[in-house]
């Protein structure tokens, strides 16, 4: 019998790998060490828990720890932190409730995820200043809003007692959201739903940088319509307050607020891997091959801490998204169980809800990035209707589509509109994975019915226009 398959981290990649390995090789021991209490939960749903669309944190859990143990036969140990990896002896050192011990492995998966970037702002230690990357932080924010009593788990995070005191003292009326990415946009909506005055700070000229300036401009106009005060091209210096946040300082600007959410991005958790001599790639995440292996044949990495190969450029990339983690983890589980399975490539396909707008992107959207990758990019931006023009409820969709002049390959796209955007982006993503040309994209046989699309779907229209530029 083979030795144990040990997994560090109990979220998307880790539990997908554990479940697949156990299913395909039921005689092999599969152990998962998770330093926290939560496993297999939807972190992407945290802003909607804060908003109130998701009623409880438990609703975000896909599979409970008990189900993993009792139904899937996985040796899952929460509140167990792996503190060291010994590659020569093939052991990990684990700190658990009953003390420290060593666990041997035959194969090891590092699925330690990522953490919220904490910038060197003044005042990050003030009460009322939060990041949002785990379940307890989301619960603490709701506590500060006076919506829930903090759970018993919160005091160990450092937020619980402060949340309770704040909720008893006064309800916040204004909030600063620092960072105009996914979390920033979604949390601006969440806070606005609770009646707070929302100020959004972004150091770049536009929000949603990966989606392109064309899409971002529409989103920004919509945010202003929703009452969000935008401070673009504005670098925050820090938070000001006496024990509790009272204002945001940004150059000569001082904006009074009662709450601050810092959402400036995430960084991969690589310290454990680095200490063990596991190599990092050019993005700063763990370097892996097509099967998720690191520079050690017995050590794999997957999820938000690992690189993947971009389908358009062929280069290593780090795009921490849920499907990427789940898919890579499942593939590694199959490989460890005896069926070598590539983890696949990524296109960075993503969607975000911005109040009433859907925004989506895939592939390479920025022309300068495309040129750096060796392409000669050509782009078009078109506006089309989401439904037949005579059918009630049709809305405008803006699409920016990129192609390569020489090969005429589809390189990427971004879209924004009030309906029909989040799934239309999948058509372009599929075209890139199939290595299709823009002309081929423009001739796809897509579904048509007046309530859902005009005869020429907006994706086809964008393809036709770009094809005309590529082949005049």
User: Backbone phi, then psi, for 376, in 5-degree steps?
Assistant: -110, 85
What is the token pair recorded at 353? Answer: 């809800």
> How many Cβ atoms are within 10 Å of 300's Cβ, its own excluded?
31
CA distance 19 to 9: 13
Is residue 350 within 8 Å of 210, Cβ to Cβ? Answer: yes
Determine which one of 44, 106, 204, 213 is catalytic: 44
Across the beta sheet with 410-417, the strand order is: 350-354, 357-363, 410-417, 396-404, 377-385
What is the token pair recorded at 179? Answer: 């960072």
Q: Distances in Å between the alpha carbon of 344 and those of 278, 326, 341?
A: 21, 11, 9
Beta bridge partners of 200: 177, 230
Nearest to 441 by CA among 411, 396, 415: 411
Annotated active-site residue 420? The verdict is no
Nearest to 321 by CA among 54, 8, 65, 13: 13
CA distance 340 to 373: 30
Beta bridge partners of 20: none
Catalytic residue numbers, as ranges: 44
């Amino acid at each position: 019998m083979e030795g144990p398959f040990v997994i560090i981290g109990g979220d998307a990649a880790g539990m997908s790998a554990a479940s697949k390995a156990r299913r395909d090789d039921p005689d092999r021991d599969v152990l998962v060490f998770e330093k926290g209490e939560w496993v297999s939960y939807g972190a992407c749903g945290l802003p909607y828990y804060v908003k109130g669309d998701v009623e409880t944190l438990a609703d975000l859990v896909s599979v409970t720890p008990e189900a993993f143990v009792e139904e899937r036969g996985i040796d899952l140990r929460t509140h167990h932190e792996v503190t060291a990896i010994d590659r020569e002896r093939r052991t990990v050192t684990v700190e658990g409730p009953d003390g420290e011990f060593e666990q041997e492995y035959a194969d090891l998966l590092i699925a330690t995820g990522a953490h919220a970037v904490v910038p060197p702002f003044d005042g990050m230690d003030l009460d009322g200043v939060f990041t949002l990357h785990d379940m307890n932080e989301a619960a603490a924010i709701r506590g500060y809003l006076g919506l829930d009593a903090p759970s018993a788990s919160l005091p160990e995070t450092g937020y619980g007692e402060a949340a309770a005191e704040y909720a008893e003292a006064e309800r916040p009326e204004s909030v600063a959201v620092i960072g105009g990415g996914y979390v920033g946009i979604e949390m601006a909506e969440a806070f606005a739903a609770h009646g707070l005055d929302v100020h959004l700070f972004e150091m770049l000229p536009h929000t949603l940088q990966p989606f392109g300036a064309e899409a971002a401009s529409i989103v920004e106009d919509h945010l202003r319509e929703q009452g969000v005060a935008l401070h673009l091209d504005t670098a925050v210096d820090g938070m000001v307050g006496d024990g509790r946040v009272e204002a945001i300082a940004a150059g000569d600007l001082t904006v009074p607020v009662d709450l601050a959410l810092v959402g400036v991005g995430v960084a991969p958790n690589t310290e454990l891997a680095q200490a063990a001599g596991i190599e990092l790639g050019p993005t700063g995440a763990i370097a892996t091959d097509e099967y998720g292996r690191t520079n050690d044949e017995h050590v794999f990495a997957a999820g938000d801490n690992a690189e993947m190969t971009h389908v358009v450029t062929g280069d290593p990339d780090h795009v921490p998204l849920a499907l990427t983690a789940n898919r890579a983890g499942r593939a590694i589980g199959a490989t460890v169980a005896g069926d070598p399975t590539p983890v696949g490539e990524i296109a960075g396909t993503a969607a975000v809800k911005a109040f009433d707008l859907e925004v989506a992107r895939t592939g390479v959207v920025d022309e300068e990035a495309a040129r750096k990758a060796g392409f000669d990019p050509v782009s078009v931006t078109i506006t089309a209707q989401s439904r037949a023009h005579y059918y009630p409820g049709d809305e405008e969709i803006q699409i920016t589509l990129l192609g390569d002049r020489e090969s005429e390959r589809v390189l990427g796209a971004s879209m924004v509109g009030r309906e029909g955007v989040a799934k239309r982006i999948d058509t372009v993503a599929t075209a890139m994975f199939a290595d299709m040309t823009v002309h081929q994209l423009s001739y796809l046989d897509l579904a048509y019915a007046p309530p859902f699309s005009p005869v020429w779907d907006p994706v086809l229209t964008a393809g036709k226009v770009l094809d005309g530029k590529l082949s005049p």
